[in-house]
Each structure stands twice: as C-alpha cells, then as structure tokens.
C-alpha cells in the first residue's frame, strides 16, 4: 500500500439534528399515497454485520442504477465513523469511480485492478491514498474489461481479490464498485464480498429486472465459491415520492426480505458534486441524499443512529 502525505481532508460526522428519514420495520402500503411517509426499512430479520475486516460489493446488472454514487457515499459515511476504508473500482467504464475520486499517485508505475487480476502486482501495491483521511482506493482502467477474454489470465482469477483480502488487515472495510455486466470483475467482486448492496432506480422497472438477474449470480457464487455472501441492502436511488417508487420498494422488500431498503432521495447536488470531483458528503453535507447514505452506512455496521429516527 502506498503511503504519502496527501491525505489532508477530514471527513466529519453529520449533525444529528438534520432531516434524516425515519426507520420502520416495513412500509405501510395501506396508507393512501398522499399520506404515506417515506422511511428506511429495517426488517426484523435484518442483522448488521460488525465483522472487521469486511468487504461490501455494490452491484446491479443494469447500468445507470447509481452504483458508483452508492459505493462512494457509503465509504465516506464509514470513514466519518472512524473506520479505515478502501474503495475498489471494478468498473472499466471511463465515467466510473476512478474519474470521480482522485487518487494520489507517487511517481512511476500506476498499478490498477487489471494488474492485480493479471498477477502483475498485489492488491496492496495497487492501493493508493486519496485526499480524504482514512480513505484509500484501487483504480480501474479501460483494459479491465479485457481480462475475461485474455488467454494470459491466471487460473482461479475469480478468487484473486478474495485471496489478497484474506491476508490483509490494513482496512476495516473494503467497498467494491462493480460494473454493469456480470463478467469476471463483478464475479470476482462477489466472491470477495461478505455483503452485497443493490442500487435500484426508484423510477425504473428495468433496474428491478437487473436486480433479479444479479440474484441468480449471487445464488451461484454463494453455492459454489462464497457461502458467506448475503444481500444486505437495496438502495432506491434518485428517489422521489411516487406510487411507482413505493411499488418498486415493496418489490425489493419482498424479493430480499432480510435486507435494508433505503430510499436515497433525489438531489441535483449529486451532479454538481461529480462535476466538481468531490464527494457529495463534503460538497453538500446537509442534502437529503447525503443523509440517506449516511444512515445506511450506520445501519450496515450496527452503529448508533439518532433515537428520534426510529419511527413510533
């Protein structure tokens, strides 16, 4: 792991008096839509996972579901709680996490996730600091998508990330941002993970279908390669209160009965933060989207949340 003096930006906790969503055990679908209150669902069967080190993979087969935003903001929420976090960009697209989050490279060779999967370096070698204290990252490159078809890829490449993580204790949590396909990098990310987070656009029925396809892959990985894997949460991205959004949330609750259902409310500040190449949490700390991801991060690890957030 590369250490430099580049980490200078402190990620602070949010104030408890902001407009967080309430927490309920289930959505009340009988209440007329106009009287219905948007809340975060924490089912009675959900169990936070305080295990450290821990690996969380953010995945959905459908592109544009909000995977990168979800991975980044969950990581920032965890860093704000004093955890040491590594982000891995497992998406070969040029508009992915690597383009948003600046890593602080030393002079010389810049290792990427491709180099890790091709066994040209270790995961620690490819881990670089970011400007944010407590947050490191492994960057991606367009050639990541070519690893799957390379005749030079090593045997058992699907388990390489897991292999490296199993021998490391430098980070409390590793968050992996996977690509929109269920190819080799995504499978390797699922094999390495303890928890899967599925972002679903609250206004897109196609994202629901993508989540269903991912579920089949998760079942296969769990059966064959990673029995500890579980779906821990679904994030309803770009959430605006509507009957469609409520219906999609209900479908997610039924499909994943033991998982959190977290509405991440829509905000124009997300696009502004991306243009500014800053995390939303620091660019607009009081915006609703920031609050929703912060509460999701706390719930995932069993951290304390404000008492008033628990709906009566």
CA-to-CA distance for 59 and 11, rounded, in angstroms?
A: 25
What value does the mean pLDDT take over residues 190-210?
85
What b/e readout covers 85-105, taking b as 16+ CB neighbours within 10 angstroms?
Answer: bbbbbbbbbeebbbbbbbbbe
Sign, CA dihedral 33-38-42-44, equals negative
CA-to-CA distance for 63 and 67, rounded, in angstroms?
A: 8
pLDDT in tens, 110-159: 899 999 999 999 999 999 999 999 999 999 988 998 888 888 889 999 99
- Examine residue 122 and say whether the peptide bond preceding it is cis (omega within 30 degrees of 0): no
**The pair of three-digit structure tokens given for residue 73, joined into one six-digit string:** 């903001």
Indicate if the pLDDT at residue 179 is higher than 90: no
Output the CA torsion 280→282→286→288 (10° steps): 20
* Residue-level pLDDT at 1: 53
132 SS3 class:
strand
**Burial (CB count within 10 angstroms: exposed 0-12, middle 13-18, buried 19+), residue 7:** middle
47-230+273-284 is a CATH 3.10.20.600 domain: no
pLDDT band at 307 (very low <50, low <70, confident <90, very high): low
**The pair of three-digit structure tokens given for residue 136, joined into one six-digit string:** 């490191």
Indicate if the pLDDT at residue 311 is higher than 70: no
Indicate if the pLDDT at residue 93 is higher than 60: yes
Q: Tell me which of 59-63, 84-88, 218-222, 283-287 is least confident.
A: 59-63
Q: Tell me which of 43-57, 120-134, 182-196, 295-309 is least confident.
A: 295-309
CA-to-CA distance for 119 and 101, rounded, in angstroms?
A: 25
Higher-pLDDT residue of 310, 261? 261
Instruction: Determine which helix (DSSP H) or strand (DSSP E) holds 230, and give its type and residue range.
Output: strand 230-239
75 SS3 class:
helix
**DSSP readout, 159-222?**
GHHHHHHHT--S-SEEEEEE-SS-SHHHHHHHHH-SEEEEEEETT-HHHHHHHHHHHHHHHHHH
* Residue-level pLDDT at 150: 85
> How open is the CA angle 221-227-232, to the nearest 5 degrees?
85
**Residues near 168 by Cβ (< 8 Å), separated by ≥ 6?**
53, 123, 124
Nearest by Cα to 77 from 21, 14, 7: 14
* Residue-level pLDDT at 312: 41
The average confidence (pLDDT) of the chain is 89
For the chain, give every domain's residue range: 47-230+273-284
CA-to-CA distance for 193 and 56, rounded, in angstroms?
A: 5
pLDDT in tens, 257-290: 999 999 999 999 999 998 888 999 999 999 999 9
7 SS3 class:
coil
Indicate if the pLDDT at residue 4 is higher than 60: no
> How open is the CA angle 195-234-199, to the nearest 5 degrees?
100
Residue 110 CB: number of other CB atoms within 10 A? 14
- Whether 112 and 86 have beta carbons less than 8 Å apart is answered as no
């Amino acid at each position: 792991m590369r250490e430099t003096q580049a980490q200078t930006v402190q990620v602070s906790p949010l104030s408890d008096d902001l407009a967080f969503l309430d927490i309920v055990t289930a959505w009340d679908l009988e209440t007329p839509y106009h009287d219905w209150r948007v809340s975060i669902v924490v089912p009675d069967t959900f169990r936070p996972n305080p295990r450290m080190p821990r690996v969380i993979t953010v995945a959905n087969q459908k592109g544009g579901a909000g995977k990168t935003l979800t991975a980044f903001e969950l990581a920032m929420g965890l860093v704000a709680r004093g955890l040491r976090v590594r982000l891995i960009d497992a998406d070969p697209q040029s508009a992915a996490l690597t383009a948003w989050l600046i890593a602080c490279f030393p002079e010389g060779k810049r290792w990427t996730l491709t180099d890790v999967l091709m066994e040209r370096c270790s995961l620690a070698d490819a881990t670089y600091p970011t400007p944010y204290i407590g947050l490191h990252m492994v960057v991606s490159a367009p050639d990541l998508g070519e690893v799957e078809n390379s005749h030079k890829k090593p045997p058992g490449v699907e388990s390489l990330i897991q292999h490296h993580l199993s021998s490391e204790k430098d980070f409390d949590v590793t968050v992996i941002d996977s690509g929109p396909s269920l190819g080799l990098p995504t499978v390797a990310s699922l094999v390495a993970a303890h928890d899967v987070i599925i972002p679903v656009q609250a206004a897109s029925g196609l994202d629901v279908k993508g989540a269903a396809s991912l579920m089949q892959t998760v079942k296969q990985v769990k059966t064959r390669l990673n029995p500890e894997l579980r779906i821990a949460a679904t994030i309803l991205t770009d959430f605006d209160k509507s009957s469609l959004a409520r219906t999609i949330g209900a479908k997610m609750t039924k499909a994943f009965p033991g998982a959190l259902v977290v509405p991440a409310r829509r905000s124009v500040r997300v696009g502004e933060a991306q243009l500014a190449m800053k995390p939303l949490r620091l660019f607009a700390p009081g915006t609703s989207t920031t609050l929703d991801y912060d509460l999701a991060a706390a719930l995932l690890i069993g951290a304390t949340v404000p008492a008033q957030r628990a709906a009566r």
